[in-house]
Amino acid sequence: MRAPDPAFPSGDTVRRARLAMFAIITLAVLAVARPAAASAIAGAAATSTENLLTWWKAAILGIVEGLTEFLPISSTGHLLVTARLLNLPDEKGSAGLDAVNTYIVAIQFGAILAVLGLFWRRFVQMLQGLIGRNPEGRHLLITLVIAFLPAGVLGAALDSKIEDTLFGPWPIVIAWIVGGIVILALQRTGRIPDRDHLDAGRTNSLAAITYRQALIIGLVQCIALCPGTSRSLATIIGALLIGVSMPVAVEFSFLLGFVTLTAATLFKLAKDGGTLVDQFGVLDPLIGAAFAFVAAVLAIRWLISYLSKHDLTIFAWYRFIVAAITIVLLATSVI
């Protein structure tokens, strides 16, 4: 058991306040940027969709993607709200909507590279395992493939239906709230560990994750096909519920994210990559991916450090806060 931290109660309150302030300031800045962007577009001589994604909008979306992709708060939800604040196409059937949706997936490439850079030793182990030189690396590779398959198959089959039905602000708001409730409920009932019992009596290495555990984590990841749920939240909670320690659950979630995001990005680019390039060119998407890479590196390092000493409670409150802000933005017709 970890020694109690006497400063935690007051510090927890401060962290929540800072988190709320961060969410409010971030969305407020974007809300201010939206009218300015709309005016600039309205006053421009050209009105084609390729002018909608400027380099600074690409950079903002990249930062949002990188900061939120691996945190249990839903990158898709944040990107959808941010895209609306930046006055990018959001109506079904509107010109440029397919390109925007493809871009939102494509900038995941920056987050993918962040995982590759930070966990390169794991990838070397898996490559060695692939050629029979590292049993642990081979085991890790197999568990990741097993965990990826359920969402990979289901996501490919339901891609269009999910995009048409659930890609909207209200489904995302509901998912944010439900996710926060689930976190608090599981922790208060002891189903997932609190900050004083993050590792006790649990699977404490990637090599110890069984194929059965990997499959369960993969099945839970399917829930995250609903926008707003958060892939990292689903996989981390799924791992914790079956007895994996917090540090191992987080690292497995990152590595599984690499596999899942790579597959999703390649699938989306193969399907609509031509539309993306035709509408927005190549440079702006690359700018977005570059910003996503830097932001993801910072977010991953922070999350590893934070969850080594704390539980998931702060992310429940963040989800409630960002859902409330989004409801206000919708009610006031800002988005």
Tell me the per-residue pLDDT of 259-286, one tens digit each, with 9 for 90 and over. Answer: 999 998 998 888 888 888 888 888 888 9
Structure tokens at 18: 């800072």
pLDDT at 41 over 90: no
Structural domain contains residue 1: no
Q: Is residue 175 part of a domain?
A: yes
**What is the number of domains present in the chain?**
1
Rounded Cα distance, 299 and 282, in Å: 26
Contact partners, residue 294, CB within 8 Å, separation at least 6? 66, 110
DSSP string, 245-296: -HHHHHHHHHHHHHHHHHHHHHHHHHHHHHHHHHHHTTHHHHHHHHHHHHHH
In a domain, 8, yes or no: no
CA angle 319, 321, 322 (to 5 degrees): 70
Whether the per-residue pLDDT at 231 is higher than 70: the answer is yes
**What pLDDT does 40 receive?**
40
Q: Is the pLDDT of residue 130 over 50?
A: yes
The answer to whether residue 4 is domain-embedded is no
- Percentage of the chain modeled with pLDDT above 90: 63
7 within domain boundaries: no
What per-residue confidence (pLDDT) applies to 93? 67
Which among 205, 218, 208, 203 has a CA at the least distance from the CA of 146?
218
| Cα gap 108→127, rounded to integer Å | 23
CA dist., res. 302 & res. 267, Å (int): 30
Give domain status of residue 295, yes or no.
yes
295 contacts: CB under 8 Å, gap ≥ 6: 62, 63, 64, 65, 66, 67, 110
Which range marks the domain in which residue 258 is found? 22-39+52-331
Kindly state whether residue 11 falls inside one of the protein's structural domains: no
Query: Higher confidence at residue 62 or residue 89?
Result: 62
Asked if the structure places residue 16 within a domain, the reply is no
